[in-house]
Amino acid sequence: MDEFGRLIEKEVPRLRRYAHALVSDPERADDLVQDCLERAWRKSHLWVRRTNLRGWLMTILHNLHANASRRYSAGPAMVPLDDSQYAGATAPAQADRLQLGALRDAVQRLPLEQQQVLLLVGMEQMRYAEAAELLQIPVGTVMSRLFRARERLRVLMSEATQPTLRRVK
């Protein structure tokens, strides 16, 4: 394996983590990473050595996801042909799993722009400048979106942890 391949191989776990957070479906996330790696190999001549490979790969992944999201929203709704595999969800017994599920749902309810910044800075631990470069937005916009995302998450999580009162007739 050449140097480029070894460098890319080191970034695969981060790409998978970010893709999974974006699409929250392991199969679609793996497909997204596969597409990203395939494009990176095809376009390897465009990468400038000694520059930020992670940023370059994350940009490819981000653009692929954005393009797929646009295609998905423009097309007809997809319905699985075999519903037998979807037997229904069962609630986890552990409080931690419930809380993680609520957090995942809350993140999914954020606008895409806020999700991206939150995942890049919070989960991938990118610096604001790196995230701004990747998303092609000013650093101030990254900070603003991150602030709004965190505030919205606080509200959504407090709503999720509040007990729901039902009226009995």
Distance (Å) of CA 163 to CA 33, 70, 157, 158, 160: 39, 37, 12, 10, 8
Average pLDDT, the chain: 84
Sequence ranges of the chain with CATH classification 1.10.10.10:
93-163
Q: Span 93-163: which CATH code?
A: 1.10.10.10
User: Mean per-residue pLDDT for 114-126?
Assistant: 91
Q: pLDDT tens digit string along 21-63?
A: 888 888 999 999 999 999 999 988 888 777 888 989 999 999 9
pLDDT (0 to 100) of residue 131: 93
Flag whether pLDDT at 133 surpasses 80.
yes
Among the CATH numbers 1.10.1740, 3.40.50, 1.10.10, 2.60.120, which is that of 1-76?
1.10.1740
Q: pLDDT tens digit string along 95-111?
A: 777 788 888 888 999 99
